[in-house]
Structure 1
Amino acid sequence: MVDIKGQVLRRRNIQKKPYAMAVMDCGDVILSSNVQYSGLVSRLLGDGREQHVFDTSPSYCNGVSVTADGKMLICTCDGRVVMVNVDGTKMKQIYKGSGNDSARHAVEDAVSNIYISDYLNYAVVKINKDGKFSSKITNTTGGQHLGRPSGLVVDTMNNILCADSYKHCVYIIDQNQQMRELVGRSHGIKHPQWLAVDCENNLWITQGDENVFVVRYLST
């Protein structure tokens, strides 16, 4: 855990190689592991204990997120997105891509639509609140094609932010499904992977070169 200045506040050692994380309203942290053939999802409790929640083996995990009502959206390397209760009981399959790492991350917006970054199919897929396919976003308003969409996050305006690790940029998708580049190479972005937005509307971007960028793009 670090503060806004990058100072380490707390460090925890966990059992498996962590890949992605999400924070629950209660402050517990959900972690996915992408160790090959081991798709473990665990929960770090406030008292420091690590609790096993779900196992996607033999497929390993990609991204994980938490919905407004406390359910988990777990992406697996074989292209699935599953919804899981916090106690680890599987509820339903939300999406099945073409396999081979196609579903990288899934997030829920403010009106219960689910957006999925389909890494291998160069698209962000929208599933409506009834669980039906709604749309596929592949191009910006200027005609630029998505490269490798990775991490997603929803901001306070219900925009979807998408990291594109191949095009070295972060896109913003508004409520009308219009997509444009928010920050990119000219800002020093290189292989962005995962995104988060904090309570002060700072956008946190983790990169493949192990750097973390913090961008203020909305006024509070």
Structure 2
Amino acid sequence: MVNLFLSGGGDKEQTEVLDKVFVSAIDLNKPMLYIPIGVQGEIPYEDCYKWIHSVFNPLGINGIEMWTDLEAKSLEDLKKFSSIYIGGGNTFYLLNTFRETGFDKILKEFVDNKGIVYGGSAGAIIFGRDILTASYMDPNHTNLKTFEGFNYIDNYSVWCHYETSNDSLIKEYVNKYGVSVLALPEEAGIIMNEGTLKVIGSSPAYIFRNGDKYVVE
């Protein structure tokens, strides 16, 4: 079963190909869970809710439940959902909130039990080896001291909103931390299924490793 969908963080036109594959993989008789907390209140949650409906209603997902408080949630609470969509925002705030509420452990259980998760931008970066790839665009205003992600992408960290102008920053990161990077332009996404990675979208993804850059079609 396909279980992880990660996008480079584009708008709904840029992610449409990945979105359609995601919709085809889930049970449309169950609601989708939407977690927009990465926006930290910079965007009203009502606007987030309207946006997620504008993306997925036309593709056939009508039942969408939004969580903005992750306290006291359990794996049992997640069983009624077809999937989880984790939105973008500040990556440090997002991961810190998951850890403080204990939702990080529940989410990992959900994924490990073949639950389907879609992460966009910050919601994608947290599934990499660590989240310092977000430091070029996200300030760390939290108490987050350790930056390990969920590490589901074969020990790669994830770089979203990738443009070629980021190459020097990415190579600096690879050299400094000794961690390889999977870079996703806004038009690209990946599907991760039991160790197999597939690129979806109108743009390729890129791998930065040992000073070299590779194209992943």
Please give the range of the TM-score, normalised by the shorter of the 2 chains. 0.3 to 0.5
The structure with more helix, counted as a fraction of residues: 2
Higher RCO structure (Cα 8 Å, ≥6 apart): 2
Q: Normalising to structure 2: TM-score of the pair?
A: 0.35
The structure with more strand, counted as a fraction of residues: 1
Q: Normalising to structure 1: TM-score of the pair?
A: 0.35
